[in-house]
Structure 1
Amino acid sequence: MIHLNDPQRNFLLKALPAEDFSRLTVHLEQTALLVGDVLYESGDRQHYVYFPVSAVISLHYLLENGGSSEIAGVGNEGMLGVALIMGGHSTPSRAVVQASGAAYRLSASILLQEFERSGPLQRLLLRYTQALLTQMSQTAVCNRHHTVEQQLCRWLLLTLDRLSTNELKITQELISNMLGVRREGVTVAAGNLQKKGYISYRRGHITVVDRSGLEDDVCECYAVVKREFARLLPATA
């Protein structure tokens, strides 16, 4: 039985063969992440990677005028810090905690040491990186071509997939920052979803009451991302 904050609640860690997982276990450090915690700033050298088990982390791109938009999310399906295995050690995006919870962090040096063994961990993280790139590219397409309501459905479903609850503690202002749209647009979109009976919204809280309704209204971007993760990382299906 896997307990609430067991490292194997992270699908990447769970997918490792026992021998590879046991080598990592002694180096994994459980850490509590709170909403708003900034794990990486743009351009920071990354000294740790994070494997969320119950937290959700958002990758934001910040503009010079102060605007921002989420380019990807990371939950228990993945790892924060793929720049390390690609040789970059930093990215132009900010990593901020979107949903409080637990994660396991691992020092960059240990990760690279294991990655350079050219074994199961390397193959797994390369497949995960491909899936993450799909999420990023599909987010860009979605933000350009689909309505705010469709974008909100996509964002809600992807977030729910990473959590063990149907309730999200988040303000409309934060959602507008995630989607890179005006707050008024989020207000209208959330209002429409509430009128349809898909969500219940009160200040700072969104409860999904009809997931199938969201799935009916969401654009194809959600399915594209889910299919690619399932194809490359079957344990996340």
Structure 2
Amino acid sequence: MTGALVVLGGDRAAHDTYMQVGGSGIRMPAGALSMALSESNTLKALLLLYVQTLFIQASYTALVNARSKLEERLARWLLMCQDRVRDDRFSITHEFIAVMLGVRRPGVTVAIQELEGMGLIKARRGEIVIRNRYGLFQIADGTYSEPEQEYERLLGTIA
């Protein structure tokens, strides 16, 4: 979900939004979301909890990006991507991963080759297949799970 600033009372988002991995979604104007929030305390409460988890995720990402090695960050990002895609296979390029991690593409290629060499993933042109989620979790070395646990605590699991 985007539009956290609207949930917090603003009249528009401060930035553009784009999808990292193709899928489906629902789009609505900021004014319609504001109206729905004013008419439903239940919706407002739920989306405020979501915004709380979003801030936790963003702050944790900043911490991880400042302190962790590229392989750890990549493993974490792949786990998060798998959580959202809900599949072991997703279309993604090295260039896009580099943008998401704020690093150079050649570094991503080396890190992907390392994870692939450990049997954790299978990389093909424009595609990553997760082969060993637990192994990625181990490589992430504590950088993955705290925000995810907080999301589950506040919002529950999504089937």
TM-score by length of 2: 0.92
The answer to whether residue 77 in structure 2 is matched with residue 155 in structure 1 is: yes
| SS of the residue 1:201 aligns to | strand
- The runs of 5 or more residues in structure 1 that have no matched partner are 1-78
Query: What's the Cα RMSD here?
Result: 1.5
Residues 153 and 214, structure 1, Cα contact 8 Å, conserved in 2: yes
Judging by fraction of residues, say which structure has more helix: 2
The runs of at least 4 consecutive aligned structure 1 residues that moved more than 3 Å come to none
Aligned positions of 1:51-200 closer than 5 A: 79-88=1-10, 89-91=12-14, 93-117=15-39, 119-200=41-122
| Identity level (%) | 39
* Structure 2 partner of 1:5: none
* Structure 2 partner of 1:219: 141
- Counterpart code for 2:128: I
- Counterpart code for 2:20: Q
| SS of the residue 1:116 aligns to | helix
- Counterpart code for 1:111: L
- Counterpart code for 1:196: M
- Rounded to whole Å, the distance in 2 between the matches of 1:83 and 1:221 is 27
Aligned pairs, how many? 158
Describe the superposition over 1:43-101 as per-residue Cα deviations: whole angstroms up to 9, x where unpaired: xxxxxxxxxxxxxxxxxxxxxxxxxxxxxxxxxxxx2211112233122x431111111
- Rounded to whole Å, the distance in 2 between the matches of 1:161 and 1:188 is 24
- Rounded to whole Å, the distance in 2 between the matches of 1:114 and 1:104 is 14
- Rounded to whole Å, the distance in 1 between the matches of 2:25 and 2:147 is 23
